[in-house]
Amino acid sequence: MADKPTALPPVAQETRLRLEALIDPAKFQLLCDALLSGEYGYDIRPRGVSARGTVRGQPDSWGYDVKGRLCAFAYGINADWQSKIGDDLDATRKLAADGFAPAVFVFCTNRHVDAAVERRLQQQVRTAYGWELQIIGQGEISVALDTRWQDLRKRFLGVRIERHNWSSLIEACRAQRSAALPRYQGKYDPSLYVQRDVERVVELWYRQSVDSIAQSKTPQQLLCLVDQAGAGKSNLLLHLAN
C-alpha cells in the first residue's frame, strides 16, 4: 500500500491556497516580478502591466537574466495554464519583426506544474522557437515565499510573517516605532532630554551586532536595561525611537 503524501504545514498550505486563489493578473505579475528579481536575479522591465491590468499584444514583462540574455516573461493564473503559455509564445514570436528576439522565455503560474509536462514543453519550445523555456510554478513560488521572501507573502497574499528578512524587519520596526511614539505624546519632550551614560552601552552593543552580522556571525540579539523607577528607561527608548 502506497504511503500517503505528507501534509503541508498549515502556513505553507495557506500560502499555496491563497496563491492559487489569486484572480487579479496584474497583482500576480507584480508578485512574480518582485520574486524573480529578488530570488533569481532577473533585471525586469514590467512593460506589460498597467493600472487596469495586463496589456495585450506584448510580453507581460521583459528583461535580462544573470547571464545577460534577453528574456520574455509571461504569467498565467488559470487552471488551463498550458493553453495560456501557447498563446503567449505565439504572441512573443510575432514581435520578432520589431527586433524583439529573446533567448529565454519565462512563464510563471500559480498552478501546480507536473515535471513530465514541463520537460515536454521545454523540448517543444526549443524545437519550435529556439528558445529556452523556464516554467516557475506554484511549488517554486510558494517555497520562496515561505522562506526568504515572507515580506512579499505578507504584501501580496496577506499571510503573516514568521521569519523576517532585512526589509520586512525594518518595516516592522518602523510600524512599531510609529505606533509607540504617539502613546507618550505630552509625557516626553525631546528638547528636555539629557544624554545618559547608558547610551554608550547601547551604541556599543549595536555596533558589535552590526559587525557580527557583516562577518556572518550570530550577534548578541538582546540587550536588557534594568534600573529603578524614574531612572529614565522609557525616555531613553523614546529618544532612540525619535
C-alpha grid cell, residue 88: 503567449
Of 104, 135, 157, which residue is a domain's last?
157
Q: Give the containing element (helix H, strand E) for 16.
A: helix 10-20
Residues 230 and 148 in one domain: no
Residues 79 and 198 in one domain: no
Residues 14 and 102 in one domain: yes
Q: Closest Cα to residue 42, out of 100, 135, 106? A: 106
Residues 225 and 106 in one domain: no
Is residue 79 assigned to a domain? yes
Residues 16 and 135 in one domain: yes
Residues 86 and 147 in one domain: yes
Instruction: Note the pLDDT of residue 104.
Output: 97
Is residue 176 assigned to a domain? no
Q: Within 13 Å, how many C-alpha atoms sit on residue 192's CB side? A: 6
Strand partners, 196: none
Is residue 40 assigned to a domain? yes
Residues 102 and 206 in one domain: no
Residues 192 and 125 in one domain: no
Is residue 45 assigned to a domain? yes
Is residue 146 assigned to a domain? yes
Residues 121 and 53 in one domain: yes
Is residue 181 assigned to a domain? no
Instruction: Note the pLDDT of residue 209.
Output: 81
- Spatial separation of the C-alpha atoms in residues 30 and 39, rounded to whole Å: 14
Instruction: Note the pLDDT of residue 1.
Output: 47
Is residue 39 within 8 A of residue 148, CB to CB? The reply is yes
pLDDT, one tens digit for every residue, the chain (242 residues): 455 556 667 888 999 999 999 999 889 999 999 999 999 999 998 776 555 555 565 557 889 999 999 999 999 998 999 999 999 999 888 887 778 889 999 999 999 999 999 999 999 999 999 999 999 999 999 999 999 999 999 999 999 988 888 888 888 888 888 887 777 777 777 777 777 777 888 888 888 888 887 777 776 677 788 888 877 787 787 777 77
Residues 201 and 120 in one domain: no
Is residue 198 within 8 A of residue 240, CB to CB? The reply is no
Backbone angles phi, psi at 104, to 5 degrees: -135, 135
Residues 47 and 137 in one domain: yes
Of 157, 175, 203, which residue is a domain's last?
157
CA 205 to chain centre: 30
Is residue 2 assigned to a domain? no
Number of domains in the chain: 2
Of 116, 137, 157, which residue is a domain's last?
157
Q: How many residues does the chain have?
A: 242
pTM over 0.95, yes/no: no
CATH at 118: 3.40.1350
Residues 117 and 215 in one domain: no
Is residue 182 assigned to a domain? no
Instruction: Note the pLDDT of residue 168.
Output: 83
Write out the residue range of the structural domain in which residue 233 sits: 187-241
